[in-house]
Homo-oligomer: A and B are copies of this chain.
Amino acid sequence: MQADRGPVAILAGAGRLPELMADRLRRAGRDCRVLAFRGFAETALRKKADAVVDLLDVKRALACLEMWRPSAVTLAGGLQRPKAGAVLNAFSVFRNRQELSDLMGRGDDQLLRGVVELLEEKGMPVVGVLDLAPELLAPAGVQTARAPEAQDRSAIEAGLRLLRDLSPYDVGQAAVVSGERVLAIEGPEGTDRMLARVQSIGRAWFSRRTPQGGVLVKAPKKGQDLRVDLPAIGPRTVVRAAKAGLSGIAVASGRTLVLDRDETVGLCDRYGLFLLGVEPPSSAADEARG
């Protein structure tokens, strides 16, 4: 449908990622178009976007894409799940109502998969940060002045195993583990609110002077579509983790977005946290084979 040399279309939600990606693509000499979602995309980006569209105005969004004839589409930045009724109405042009109703009962995974399918049916390949800007991903190894100690290492291992075992369920891209105790598993509330929870658990159980020394562990689920759903950390994550009394953050290297890396690492150093890029463990099936 479109020429291979068509632009990259960025469907832009909240946060700094859409702008970072647009900058990088332009600097690399690639043509790109930004479709900003009203109420989500940051004001600065929205002002220079090629189109500003309501999240639920699927018809207009698709019309823009068909006009631009992109060689690839990328979904960048955060979008909140809108109210069920509104989604049903908006999408009913394209999909059977019952099918959509079923979809809403499922996890974010399935919803995103629906969007990706819709775009690819229209002949627009969906790509992600891994393809377009891999330099935004967490490198392997210790990134900070502080390095994880033995007990942090075992907490990290337990956390990675836990997240792996949660892969079949549509939940849990992150957990907080202290020693062998799991302090929290992330649900749809997101990392920030999970860390706030850990902070209040910490207060009830431990004296305020004794940091509980847990680790925030983030890794994608097995089978997760990394083009549209990548674990991410940034400066705010570090501040929250420090407030919760954690000793550090471990993320799946090459599979976790680090927003504003310099600031993120700088804040880790300021608060005395470690930041580690790790290789997630092989699957249970692999282990059985090995």
Copies, count:
2
Is B170 within 8 A of A188, CB to CB? Answer: no
User: Which residues A235-268 have CB closer than 8 A to chain B?
Assistant: none
- A64: interface (CB < 8 Å): no
* Measured CA separation A183–B104 after assembly (Å): 13
- Taken together as a complex, chains A and B put the C-alpha atoms of A104 and B189 apart, in Å, by 28
Q: Which residues of B contact A184 (CB under 8 A)?
A: 187, 189
Task: Kindly provide the distance from the CB of A138 to the nearest chain B CB, expressed in whole angstroms.
Answer: 24
For A151, list chain B residues within 8 Å (CB).
105
Query: Is B201 a contact of A189 with CB atoms below 8 Å?
Result: yes
**Pairwise interchain contact B187-A183, C-beta atoms closer than 8 A:** yes
Asked if A179 is at the interface (CB within 8 A of a chain B CB), the reply is yes
**Chain A positions 148-187 with a Cβ under 8 Å from a chain B Cβ:** 151, 158, 162, 165-166, 168-172, 178-185, 187
CA separation between A85 and B170, bound complex, in Å? 38
Known: A189-B201, A205-B188. A106 touches B210 (CB 8 A): no
Partner of A105, one of B162, B166, B180: B180
Q: Judge whether A105 and B178 touch: CB under 8 Å.
A: yes
> Which range contains the number of A residues in contact with the other chain?
35 or more
Contacts of A189 in B (CB 8 A): 184, 197, 200-201
**Are A106 and B171 interface neighbours, CB within 8 A?**
no
Q: Is A83 an interface residue (CB 8 A)?
A: yes
Residues of B near A170 (CB, < 8 A) are 180-182
B205 close to A80 (CB less than 8 A): yes
A162 partner residues in chain B, CB cutoff 8 A:
166, 169, 171
- Does A204 make an interface contact (CB < 8 A)? yes
Q: Given A80-B204, A151-B105, A205-B81, A169–B182 Cβ distance below 8 Å?
A: yes
- Indicate whether A183 sits within 8 Å of B188 (C-beta atoms), given known contacts A83-B205, A105-B151, A165-B165: yes
Chain B residues closer than 8 Å to A206, beta-carbon distance: 83-84
A210 to B204 alpha-carbon distance, docked (Å): 35
Complex contacts, A188 vs chain B, CB 8 Å:
181, 183, 201, 205
Complex Cα gap A186–B249 (Å)? 22
Residues of chain B lying within 8 A (CB to CB) of residue A81? 204-205
Query: In this assembly, does A98 line the interface, its C-beta being within 8 Å of a C-beta of chain B?
Result: no
Taking CB atoms and an 8 Å cut-off, the chain A residues in 29-70 that contact chain B are none
Q: Please give, as numbers and ranges, the residues of chain B lying within 8 Å of A106 by CB-CB distance.
A: 179-181
13 residue pairs A–B, Cβ–Cβ below 8 Å:
A81-B205, A83-B207, A83-B210, A105-B178, A107-B182, A162-B169, A165-B166, A170-B181, A171-B185, A185-B187, A187-B197, A188-B201, A188-B205
